[in-house]
Amino acid sequence: MRLSPQQFWRIRENQYRLFITVCGSCGRKAILKRPVCPYCGSDRVHHVESSGLGVLESFTKVYYRRNSSEDDLPKFIGVVRLTEGVRVVGEIVGVGADELREGMEVEAVLRRYASDDPYGVIYYGIKFKPV
């Protein structure tokens, strides 16, 4: 994998923090700081930062390999309903399969996303862990 420090620096706000776009036209809310509302297309939007707290609505245990190492498998990908009412999909960490359950309270944490090699770029971003 070839990671780009420039690309990741450009999108750092949405990787290091949990922003929500609130639409001034249709009133809907969507995860990520966005220039326009993804539901109605309006640019009458403002942004608020999430508390990072939420409830795990659903999850799957994933064995699908995308790199040469199996060290990070299996991983859990879950749908989290934030306390602000917005859904976000992300990785759930710090918990075993037998402990994970739907309805569990979770919080956002900063964890490693990817790295080039032992001496290369490392990306960090939001994942979730049980409260």
Partner 1 sequence: MGAYVVGGAALKIDRHFELGYKDLAYRVVRDCPECSDVDYVIVASALPELSAHQVDLGIHVVQWIGRRVPALRVESGESSGLAAVDLAASLVSSGRARRVLVLGVEKVTEYPTYTANYFYSLTLDYEYEVLRGISPPAYAALAMKELMNSGVRRECFSGWAIRMHENAVSVPHAMLRFKISLESFKDSQVLAEPLTLYDSFASGDGAAAVVVSSKPNEGDSSPEIVYSGAEVGLPAYLRDRVSDLTASVGLLRRAAERLGLDLRRAAVELHDSYTVYPIAILKGLGYLDDRCDLGGFEYLNLSGGLKARGHPVGATGVYQVYEIFKLMTDGLGGRTAPAEYGLAHSMSGPDNSSRVVVLRR
Phi and psi at residue 4, in whole multiples of 5°?
A: -115, 115
Nearer to partner 1, 53 or 100 (CB): 100
Which residues form the interface with partner 1 (CB under 8 A)?
Answer: 1, 7, 11, 14-15, 30-32, 38-39, 58-68, 75, 77, 79, 87-91, 113-114, 123, 125-127
Give the DSSP letter of residue 13. H
- For residue 119, CA distances in Å to 14, 16, 78, 108, 115 come to 25, 22, 30, 27, 9
- Record the tokens describing residue 79, joined without a space: 């749908």
Cβ of residue 118: shortest distance to partner 1, in angstroms?
Answer: 19
Cβ of residue 105: shortest distance to partner 1, in angstroms?
Answer: 20
Cβ of residue 78: shortest distance to partner 1, in angstroms?
Answer: 9
